[in-house]
Structure 1
């Protein structure tokens, strides 16, 4: 019976594949990786068979048989083994058998000639034709044509449009991270202009709130934090200026290629400005151990952090997997890893011990301010040298015990008490004059404007030492030398490095790397970024593994759409706002999130985008919305971060509880969450509960969990209770003592739509119950009603 069912399932799967193209990279390679690579892959080639390489897969194994015979599935040992019921021959030998639909895929692929294609992401980027579809009325722009084509081929229909109030709330959160006010909803619903929605989109893209929202997505990718991690978790001075640079760049719609070049080589460009120097703070955002057990290993760990973040964040490649050996899955040899490291070889460590000033802090003050400081600093140094000379002459005359005391911490104490005893009148007068002059210089310096310091690549080596392949990744086992090189999969010529002129501060290598990464011909850079943009509009990328476009990443559900968007991005000068507009004005984006029995059965994961995926708000959106709804949101932009109140119990999790955490006013704490001081060892509980990312490494996509701490924090947390009180105050201020008006207004502020009479009556009943059965005052009952609104699914989820 089971055998019959298996044959029937195989027949059904084969029939469903009859009209579909089987792709090696999208369909076959993932099956081989899941089912076969453990024994017949990069790590092991049992029986002489390795299925990750074409020659081995098609050649004779130790048995003398070929696993894959192109065009002949019946003669292919692979098919015979995975369909065998003989316990000594079946593959895989343990675990679940290969599913019937996967067997059908492999059989069809072999029957069609077993075409062994290069992995989709490693092919040059080409612009596909926009497909023709039957339902042309559903196409608002080319995005819809690509989506609709797949749906029509699968026999599915796209969802109808979302209602206008839900769509407005969706696009507000997507572009700004904040909800629309009831007045904005009403204005939109009453606007009968055919381009009413497009007007809203343009206004939101022009809003400063856009940069604050989309900068946060980038900060996840580059593992932004303002401290070093490890036990001391010391602060990174002025790291917030990098965050502000990102916000300003997004608001200005800075072309993405320029944005990347500034971060990778802002100090090596033809025109170096305070902005481009600030951008190089990118290199200083990682973790830093100021007291490592193995200093050389720690140095290479810093390089690895940069290679990992750059490789995954900008290119979607796990280059870091080739640190100790050739990449096990992707064609990335260790020489490619160390060739990438060679581009960064001239970078100095973040700090010298615990002091980042020399290597990582650059003075970008105006020229006249820097000149004034330089003049006064030089004069102070000259005076100090003269003062020390006089002190040393006097010390030479002192008894031995006093001399030894001046060699340590008691020097000032000894000199203050005894110096005059060992100076003649002329020397004493000269000494007093020098000290007074030095104090005058210091006083003048205090009157100058503050230096404008930025976290950056302040010091680097213009002639970096040679880079070697490290055997097994050990700094103690240097192998062959390697020059800067681009990964082999790009099939690019060796880089032409500039000649380093005498007196140069940098080698120029990072600029060469930056220009290659941002070249329109780079086959991954634009693909990776448009996938990230799509991801944050739809809840998941066209490639579900945004940091891994390699062979163990998730293949794109719509590869042609991805390539079309990538080429369109470059054609539009790498600007993101036009791409946002294209996406959010598509009918695909405007679809309802409602379920469909037929579509849910055929495509439960919504791989084909037949509907819009409902999404939970991010941690920052939830926190910012609490303030937006209760009227306390402080829209102050830029500057040093603020410190939310954190309980003593949470503080105890630090090695030194409370160290490095400031005390901000309630007004400051009501700023947008992107301005929270990000301390690696102390993430505020509300953010942590709602999946704020791990800051030690690049975050490709945040988790979207549902767990008890979320409900407990929103229902019982002191912070939410406090903000519910401000919410209640707003309702009293706007509606007076009229309970019906208070409830209706509260519901409208939270949900973004006009509440129903049933909703209003339920709210009134709750307030009445709290007052009559629990003896609460009207003010306290209203506050708890507001707390309940903060706990509604309508508030937490985006339809």
Structure 2
């Protein structure tokens, strides 16, 4: 065989051997081309092309039909094929889409609809790969086979009421980010469990990293302390610890008894209410420029405490707070319950446009309902469609329309037998202050009338007309004669230089006294509501025209007689003066296929229907949100990391199956919060020790601490810390409910009058009696404009924003507050006196202190250290004369 023949043989052999690879490669390319066509080109042509080139067979532009490969290859009026497979630069449909070719007109015609760079690259790649165009059956087969993988990569469409743009309406979402909108779902293999095994622990075990061992159970004293602080916010007593430790029943039975005892305690409601009030932004004042006191806000606080103590079903609890006045308008408790809608900062001053103030209330209540009950920050959709979640602006204003007929009022509501009405004798003090203020104003009015005569004399003008007006108005009711006379002169058409000016002839001292007295009378009108049978509430009706609100609002006799019946429109850019399309009352349309409730457009009944939508068992958000909050109140963090944000920017649940199982269990248990506590607290996850025998293993296998292999201890809250000190010193007044108390706070802060619009509010005045001051912290007067520094430094949240989770910081001012603060000093003295009275020597005193404060005996080294410290203090103070305490003035 010659050289040439040999070469040919070798070449043929190579071709034969590699032929399958060439065929396989061609087949793979064809599959990719078909997949690209189904995944990218079909939706692209449907969106950009077929409206003019195939959707309507009778109206095909330029006779170019793009509904099939054969029709596209045939072309249109240009008599050129619409595309040339493998040659994108010679394909008219690609060149037209580029919009830069001289021969082919730009397509689509509208510049706003031009293809993006990404879409152009898809079109070019498809043509380059041969322009595969499978038939309809093959397209359906390809779409079904790849739907799951494609949805992960490209996202999935979500039906809603529609966005402000087509792009937003048609956008796609990562399926995993939509977990909160999915129906509750529990894996069958975990839902069916052996009754002897806690189902919570089955979920946690299923998610635990391989090779990770769980910590053992905590000892009984530790567990009791954990449970007691969790459920009542106070430490266990030595007697309670001994009872639990000495209980000879098995651990489960003994701990069940502890849980039941704590859940039955009236202090349970106080502890849970503190959590809830953090979320709802409870405060006893309005905030903003005037920070007017909300004299009867305390009734809402006590309603929440009673609701938790009574184990009111959570769905009922929600309905009452949104629509209690509609559900039972003659029930005072229902009028108090809707105080929830009034919790946000709000005021209307003469310096603000009433429409703006009204819109601020509607925005506030819309977002608050979203965060508290639905785990959604709806305000992100106020000015534009939500950037991340399937919440269009239309939904935001549809929910706002639910509250368009809701008006603010302090509504008559008789005191309930269950309400604590003690302490009302304080009203006498306020009456005395009002008499003093009013007497000051009378004397200042007389001074101005006298100064007016001097003014006329200085101006060489006759006071006859002025005197005639003054004499006529002397016995008329209302504000001072001087101001009434000025108003009358103005009404008669006189210019301002023809009658005395305001505060004529006043000295600086008189000017200040007038301002303080006038504003004082104004502010006292808010404080007096504290002792009146009124509720911080709402009613349904027309929106009244008001220039300012300087005293508590009262409900009109006929809510529909005057004012405007608001029509809710989309506000362009959130501007109340830029009205867009009108909307009807509604809810989150992303859940419309799961919960369908008709919300009426009538003046009354909107909130009731909306509350029914929120509490419908098929609404997956409501139950998930509350069980996540309860879990966080026990473990320090929720299963989903952002309790107020279940959207795509919030942290996704670490144990989604467990979250859904708890939500389902809550519904099946009749929305009992107490039963939910029992389920959680009886789990091994809750009862684990906070120390692990293999800490390095935990750090390696569970660095984020989401396996619940150990129990993560938490800091005491500011309120728990103060209340515990009062309890241990024997000073705590455990009485439930009632008007706010005023405990002692940092003196430098207390003696600084709050600056409010145009004047000063009175300085902080503690209650005169210890039993009044030393009540639980939840009952302390909470002013937005004046916070307690001790509460602040230990992370008590601001009531201006919903607090989904308290911060836990370690900062130097905390040490200063404890060691230098008068509050701690007073508690230490009282506790020392109590301990010394019940101990025979120093060692016994130290032991008793440890038992009461820490719930355990001191170690030998701790006892020795305390004795040495005590001895050093004794030597240091011996012979030193104590300094007299100076109060800064």
Normalized against structure 1, the TM-score is what? Answer: 0.71
Matched, 1:483 2:584: yes
Residue 581 of structure 1 is matched in structure 2 by 678
Matched, 1:496 2:598: yes
Q: Distance in 1 between matches of 2:329 and 2:850?
A: 53
Tell me which of 666, 677, 682 is aligned to 2:786: 682
CA shift at 1:566, angstroms?
A: 0.4
Residue 658 of structure 2 is matched in structure 1 by 561
The alignment partner of 1:456 has SS state of strand
Q: Tell me: CA distance 1:132–1:343, structure 2 relative to 1, closer, same or farther (3 Å).
A: closer
Matched, 1:605 2:655: no
Residue 118 of structure 2 is matched in structure 1 by 61
Q: Distance in 1 between matches of 2:733 and 2:691?
A: 35
Q: Tell me: CA distance 1:740–1:702, structure 2 relative to 1, closer, same or farther (3 Å).
A: same
Q: Distance in 2 between matches of 1:758 and 1:513?
A: 62
Matched, 1:404 2:469: yes
* 1:136-175 alignment, distance < 5 Å: 140-151=197-208, 153-175=209-231
Is 1:233–1:681's contact at 8 Å kept on the other side of the alignment? yes
Tell me which of 743, 747, 755 is aligned to 1:655: 755
Residue 783 of structure 1 is matched in structure 2 by none
| More displaced stretch, 297-306 vs 567-576 | 297-306
Residue 15 of structure 1 is matched in structure 2 by none
The alignment partner of 1:361 has SS state of strand
Residue 622 of structure 1 is matched in structure 2 by 721
Residue 363 of structure 1 is matched in structure 2 by 413
* 1:123-138 alignment, distance < 5 Å: 123-131=182-190
Q: Distance in 2 between matches of 1:620 and 1:68?
A: 65
Q: Distance in 2 between matches of 1:779 and 1:542?
A: 54
Q: Distance in 2 between matches of 1:228 and 1:408?
A: 36
Residue 777 of structure 2 is matched in structure 1 by 673
Q: Distance in 2 between matches of 1:67 and 1:192?
A: 79
CA shift at 1:360, angstroms?
A: 2.4
Tell me which of 183, 200, 218 is aligned to 2:276: 218
Q: Distance in 2 between matches of 1:776 and 1:62?
A: 89
Q: Distance in 2 between matches of 1:68 and 1:512?
A: 53
Q: Distance in 2 between matches of 1:513 and 1:182?
A: 49
- For each residue in 1:656-707, what CA deviation from the matched residue of structure 2 results, as whole angstroms up to 9, or x when unmatched? 6662633312222211111011101111111111111111121111111111
Tell me which of 364, 369, 374 is aligned to 1:310: 369
Q: Tell me: CA distance 1:680–1:770, structure 2 relative to 1, closer, same or farther (3 Å).
A: same
Q: Tell me: CA distance 1:415–1:638, structure 2 relative to 1, closer, same or farther (3 Å).
A: closer
* 1:245-260 alignment, distance < 5 Å: 245-260=303-318
Residue 197 of structure 1 is matched in structure 2 by 255
Q: Tell me: CA distance 1:322–1:719, structure 2 relative to 1, closer, same or farther (3 Å).
A: same
The alignment partner of 1:589 has SS state of helix
Q: Tell me: CA distance 1:458–1:414, structure 2 relative to 1, closer, same or farther (3 Å).
A: closer
Matched, 1:295 2:365: no
CA shift at 1:63, angstroms?
A: 5.7
* 1:89-100 alignment, distance < 5 Å: none
- For each residue in 1:203-236, what CA deviation from the matched residue of structure 2 results, as whole angstroms up to 9, or x when unmatched? 0000001000001111011110010112221101
CA shift at 1:653, angstroms?
A: 7.2
Q: Distance in 2 between matches of 1:160 and 1:315?
A: 36
Q: Tell me: CA distance 1:526–1:415, structure 2 relative to 1, closer, same or farther (3 Å).
A: closer
Matched, 1:744 2:847: yes
Is 1:314–1:528's contact at 8 Å kept on the other side of the alignment? yes
Q: Distance in 2 between matches of 1:255 and 1:692?
A: 28
CA shift at 1:65, angstroms?
A: 4.6
Q: Distance in 1 between matches of 2:679 and 2:775?
A: 31
* 1:101-500 alignment, distance < 5 Å: 116=156, 117=175, 119-131=178-190, 140-151=197-208, 153-194=209-250, 195-269=253-327, 272-291=330-349, 292-348=351-407, 350=408, 359-364=409-414, 404-405=469-470, 411=476, 452-458=533-539, 460-461=541-542, 464-492=565-593, 495-498=597-600, 500=602
Is 1:140–1:585's contact at 8 Å kept on the other side of the alignment? no
CA shift at 1:342, angstroms?
A: 0.2
Residue 539 of structure 1 is matched in structure 2 by 636
Q: Distance in 2 between matches of 1:564 and 1:452?
A: 43
Q: Tell me: CA distance 1:576–1:409, structure 2 relative to 1, closer, same or farther (3 Å).
A: farther
Q: Distance in 1 between matches of 2:347 and 2:321?
A: 23
Matched, 1:707 2:811: yes
Residue 856 of structure 2 is matched in structure 1 by 753
CA shift at 1:406, angstroms?
A: 5.8
- For each residue in 1:39-89, what CA deviation from the matched residue of structure 2 results, as whole angstroms up to 9, or x when unmatched? xxxxxxxx9xxxxxxxx9x997156059999xxxxxxxxxxxxxxxxxxxx
Is 2:399–2:587's contact at 8 Å kept on the other side of the alignment? yes
Is 1:538–1:612's contact at 8 Å kept on the other side of the alignment? yes
The alignment partner of 1:588 has SS state of helix
The alignment partner of 2:868 has SS state of helix
Is 1:176–1:204's contact at 8 Å kept on the other side of the alignment? yes
Q: Tell me: CA distance 1:660–1:287, structure 2 relative to 1, closer, same or farther (3 Å).
A: farther
Residue 379 of structure 1 is matched in structure 2 by none
Q: Distance in 2 between matches of 1:178 and 1:270?
A: 36
CA shift at 1:293, angstroms?
A: 2.6
CA shift at 1:155, angstroms?
A: 2.9
Is 1:642–1:668's contact at 8 Å kept on the other side of the alignment? yes
The alignment partner of 1:637 has SS state of coil
The alignment partner of 2:620 has SS state of coil
CA shift at 1:496, angstroms?
A: 2.5
Matched, 1:718 2:822: yes
Q: Distance in 2 between matches of 1:531 and 1:218?
A: 13
Is 1:330–1:550's contact at 8 Å kept on the other side of the alignment? yes
Residue 762 of structure 1 is matched in structure 2 by 865
- For each residue in 1:457-492, what CA deviation from the matched residue of structure 2 results, as whole angstroms up to 9, or x when unmatched? 146347742110000000111000000111121124
* 1:63-78 alignment, distance < 5 Å: 64-65=121-122
Q: Distance in 1 between matches of 2:312 and 2:339?
A: 17
Report how many residues are paired: 606
Is 2:753–2:761's contact at 8 Å kept on the other side of the alignment? no
Q: Tell me: CA distance 1:648–1:748, structure 2 relative to 1, closer, same or farther (3 Å).
A: closer
The alignment partner of 1:455 has SS state of strand
Residue 744 of structure 2 is matched in structure 1 by 645
CA shift at 1:779, angstroms?
A: 13
| More displaced stretch, 455-464 vs 578-587 | 455-464
Normalized against structure 2, the TM-score is what? Answer: 0.64
Q: Distance in 1 between matches of 2:290 and 2:871?
A: 52
Q: Distance in 1 between matches of 2:222 and 2:815?
A: 24
CA shift at 1:170, angstroms?
A: 0.2
Rg comparison, structure with higher value: 2
Query: Where does structure 1 lack aligned partners over 5 or more consecutive residues?
Result: 1-46, 48-55, 70-107, 351-358, 368-398, 417-449, 501-505, 781-799
CA shift at 1:754, angstroms?
A: 1.9
Cα RMSD (Å) of the superposition? 3.3
CA shift at 1:271, angstroms?
A: 6.8
Is 1:59–1:67's contact at 8 Å kept on the other side of the alignment? no
Q: Tell me: CA distance 1:198–1:414, structure 2 relative to 1, closer, same or farther (3 Å).
A: closer
